[in-house]
């Protein structure tokens, strides 16, 4: 039985759908930007606004009231905003698989390092896993013919750090859907201010707008709702390990839908990074 008496089949299906949604975010963003149908700033703006709108609608349907409970925070909203924009600008040059690996590697490393800095006493497996994960990410971006753009890799690492901080701040929320909705809504002032600065560079087409709305409303908004449903039947360790499937799904999607190439460097880095994170997660469970 799953820990919260949720039907096992429901847990499996919702978890799979959520991971596909999260991987699709990378594929959709890369597809929209590589085709030149929209610029990175416009994609981010539309993604956040449509995500906020979709989450608000779903919350109204569920609770029957139009006002949110203001359970989010401006710090979390700023991290969400930073994640969304650096994510999009990183994908101007990165392919889907590489970008997602850097993103999820940075998220997990941020969360592990934060635990250590705040006084956790890591299990030896956590240290070993952290070294493998960092080694894999360093190898991925080290100089060479197959190395991704240093600038774009740095932007994606910042996106991962921001998402890691956002995730840490959201731990233990009794109503994650309401909190996520409020945080999305709180990004609106940041978005409006950004529009004033990037307005001359905005490039929006109909198909580009559609991709951004899908990313915000469907693969982000609805994707988060599905994931929170799955989390009701997952332990923290299982949830963390399941998320490691996202870089693999994104890489496969990039090959099938974007004609991207999985390089030996990406494969080795993925093995080191994802394997290291898995060791760290197992070590955390053994310590507990």
38 forms beta bridges with 204
Q: What is the mean pLDDT of residues 4-31?
A: 86
The share of the chain scoring above pLDDT 70, in percent, equals: 93
User: Which two structure tokens, joined as six digits, stand for 37?
Assistant: 């149908």
Domain boundaries, the chain: 8-287
Sign of CA dihedral 18, 141, 107, 28: negative
Binned at pLDDT 50, 70 and 90, residue 2 comes out as very low
Q: Out of 61-65, 251-255, 278-282, which region has the weakest mean confidence (pLDDT)?
A: 61-65
Q: For the beta carbon of residue 153, count every other beta carbon within 10 angstroms.
A: 21
Give 149-185 pLDDT, tens digit per residue. Answer: 899 999 999 999 999 899 888 776 778 888 899 999 9
Please give the model's pTM, rounded to 2 decimal places: 0.87
How many Cα atoms occupy the beta-carbon half-sphere of 2 within 13 Å? 21
Kindly tell me if the per-residue pLDDT of 11 is higher than 90. no
Binned at pLDDT 50, 70 and 90, residue 288 comes out as low
Give 190-232 pLDDT, tens digit per residue. Answer: 999 988 887 778 888 999 999 999 999 999 999 988 988 888 8
Kindly tell me if the per-residue pLDDT of 54 is higher than 90. yes
Kindly tell me if the per-residue pLDDT of 108 is higher than 80. yes
User: Which two structure tokens, joined as six digits, stand for 74?
Assistant: 């401006």
Kindly tell me if the per-residue pLDDT of 67 is higher than 80. no
């Amino acid at each position: 039985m799953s820990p919260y008496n949720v039907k096992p089949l429901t847990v499996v299906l919702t978890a799979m759908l959520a991971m596909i949604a999260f991987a699709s975010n990378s594929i959709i963003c890369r597809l929209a930007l590589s085709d030149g149908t929209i610029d990175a700033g416009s994609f981010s703006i539309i993604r956040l606004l449509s995500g906020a709108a979709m989450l608000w609608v779903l919350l109204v349907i569920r609770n029957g009231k139009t006002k949110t409970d203001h359970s989010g925070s401006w710090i979390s909203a700023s991290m969400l905003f930073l994640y969304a924009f650096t994510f999009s600008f990183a994908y101007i040059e990165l392919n889907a698989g590489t970008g997602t690996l850097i993103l999820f590697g940075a998220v997990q490393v941020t969360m592990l390092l934060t635990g250590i800095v705040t006084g956790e006493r890591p299990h030896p497996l956590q240290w070993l896993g952290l070294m493998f994960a960092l080694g894999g990410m360093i190898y991925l971006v080290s100089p060479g013919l197959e190395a991704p753009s240093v600038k774009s890799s740095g932007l994606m690492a910042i996106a991962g750090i921001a998402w890691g901080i956002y995730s840490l701040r959201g731990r233990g929320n009794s109503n994650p859907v309401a909190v996520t909705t409020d945080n999305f809504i709180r990004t609106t002032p940041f978005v409006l201010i950004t529009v004033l600065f990037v307005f001359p560079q905005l490039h929006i087409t109909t198909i580009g707008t559609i991709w951004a709305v899908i990313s915000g409303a469907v693969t982000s908004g609805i994707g988060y709702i599905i994931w929170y449903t799955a989390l009701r039947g997952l332990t923290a360790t299982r949830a963390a390990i399941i998320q490691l499937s996202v870089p693999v799904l994104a890489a496969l999607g990039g090959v099938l839908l974007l004609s991207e190439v999985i390089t030996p460097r990406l494969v080795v880095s993925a093995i080191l990074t994802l394997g290291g994170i898995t060791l760290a997660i197992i070590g955390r469970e053994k310590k507990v």
